Amino acid sequence: MRLCCFLNFAPLYRRAIFARLDEAFDCRFYFGKRPEGKGAQGIEKMDYGFFRHRPVEFRNIKKGPLLWRSKIIRLAFGHYDAYLLTWDTCLSYPLFMLIARMRKKKIYVWGHGLKRLTHRGAPLDRWMLRRIDGFFIYGRKGKERMIELGMDGDKIHVISNSLTGRIDAREEDELASTVMRKHFGNDLPTLLFIGRLTEVKKLDMIFRAAALNRGAGIDYNILIIGDGPERGRLENLSRSLGMAERTWFYGACYDETTLNRLIYNCDICCSPGNVGLTALHALSYGVPVVTHDDFETQMPEYEAIIPGKTGVLFERDNVEAMAAAISSWLNAHQGAEARQQIRSDCYKAINAEWNADAQIEVFKKFIR
């Protein structure tokens, strides 16, 4: 099958699934030159060297709240059997879909789906959803909501996100080190955040919760991996709350060996705002995740958190609830045996569905 993949960007973290798509189908890839949207800035772009056919780039052009993507319409006349598109409200999609449907081509979309159909582009979304052959959606709750909005459930296929393939836990043993003890000078547990330091992540809650817990006699270190516009404010906040000596602002890190060792040697990961791929990054190294429980404002990856096994959920925007969730988790999971069980549960969650091997099986099953 000749498959045209027309996707908004080629982020480095999707290398694993793109490689598997390229192996499973006769693919031609088209990617946006740069990420679209304020929250996407700073995402590292992958190198195209591993693709069998070098991808072609196009421009994401903003038209008010909507998008126009060059190149897509002429691709409707290409010699493809099927198309896989990034799902969003794109002004150039309707004409493309009309032409592709007249030529009896299959059209699939891949994305987060919709939580409501009341926004400005809703009529266009409804029109497009009636003309696709399948929707590969992140998360079961996302599928449930799409069905509530009136979409045919048989056309919606859950495809959990991924950062890598399945994990062989035996390979992780070599990552154990004393890196935290050497930096902090203590043997306290370490709380991790990894990702862009942006306002939407509500990272100030990490320091406010830590100050509350410290006042209650529960002390731990904080490791922040990443950079972004909020870094200066967070550094000032950590000092004002007396948490500076317990906090390590490591900065951005793209060296996999260093990054993997840092994550593996943490005890818990916390993302007070939406959690996204941070959850998968942490779970892939046996680190449980703390985040909020509000589906309306969450990213689909929070479904990987199984309370009591791979992390804990708390009431959104409630610092006291978050502090209690962290302290109760640390108190309940002390000792080497408990830590190893947590690692095992995290690896099982990733290997069950949150990996590129599972993703490609879903694509192969439904793209025909």
* Whole-number Å distance between alpha carbons of 225 and 335: 25
Domain that holds residue 183: 169-352
Tokens of 184: 């902090």
State the pLDDT at residue 172: 60
Same domain for 126 and 239?
A: no
* Whole-number Å distance between alpha carbons of 290 and 306: 10
Same domain for 176 and 317?
A: yes
* CATH code (residue 236): 3.40.50.2000
State the pLDDT at residue 170: 52
What is the domain count for the chain? Answer: 2
Same domain for 70 and 40?
A: yes
* Whole-number Å distance between alpha carbons of 285 and 220: 19
State the pLDDT at residue 316: 97
How many other C-beta atoms can be found within 10 angstroms of the C-beta atom of residue 286?
Answer: 24
Same domain for 154 and 257?
A: no
User: Which of these ranges, 137-151, 162-176, 219-233, has the smallest mean pLDDT?
Assistant: 162-176
User: Which of these ranges, 114-118, 257-261, 310-314, has the smallest mean pLDDT?
Assistant: 114-118
State the pLDDT at residue 64: 74
For the segment 294-318, the average pLDDT, to the nearest whole number, is 94
Confidence of residue 42 (pLDDT cuts 50, 70, 90): low
How do strand 60-63 and strand 56-58 relate by DSSP bridges? unpaired
Same domain for 321 and 185?
A: yes
Query: Residue 38 above 70 pLDDT?
Result: no
Same domain for 109 and 225?
A: no
Contact 353, 165 (CB under 8 A): no
pLDDT tens digits for range 91-149: 999 999 999 999 999 999 999 988 776 665 678 888 999 999 999 999 999 999 999 88
Same domain for 134 and 123?
A: yes
* Whole-number Å distance between alpha carbons of 17 and 159: 11
State the pLDDT at residue 254: 83
Same domain for 41 and 173?
A: no
Residue among 28, 300, 36 at smallest CA distance from 159: 300
Same domain for 230 and 332?
A: yes
User: Which of these ranges, 36-40, 83-87, 109-113, 217-221, has the smallest mean pLDDT?
Assistant: 36-40
State the pLDDT at residue 120: 58
* Whole-number Å distance between alpha carbons of 250 and 183: 11
Same domain for 227 and 249?
A: yes
Same domain for 83 and 97?
A: yes
Q: CA torsion sign, 145 to 151 to 154 to 157?
A: negative
State the pLDDT at residue 173: 65
User: Which of these ranges, 32-36, 179-183, 238-242, 307-311, has the smallest mean pLDDT?
Assistant: 32-36
* Whole-number Å distance between alpha carbons of 205 and 317: 8
* Whole-number Å distance between alpha carbons of 80 and 6: 12
Q: Is 242 left (phi over 0), alpha (psi -120 to 50) or beta?
A: left
Which amino acid makes up residue 18? F
Same domain for 312 and 277?
A: yes
pLDDT tens digits for range 170-182: 566 678 889 999 9
Question: SS3 for 100?
Answer: helix
For the segment 337-362, the average pLDDT, to the nearest whole number, is 95
Question: What mean pLDDT is reported for the chain?
Answer: 92
Using N-to-C axis directions, what is the helix angle for 356-366 and 15-24, rounded to 10°? 40
Q: What's phi and psi for 155, nearest 5 deg? A: -95, -5
State the pLDDT at residue 18: 98
State the pLDDT at residue 118: 62
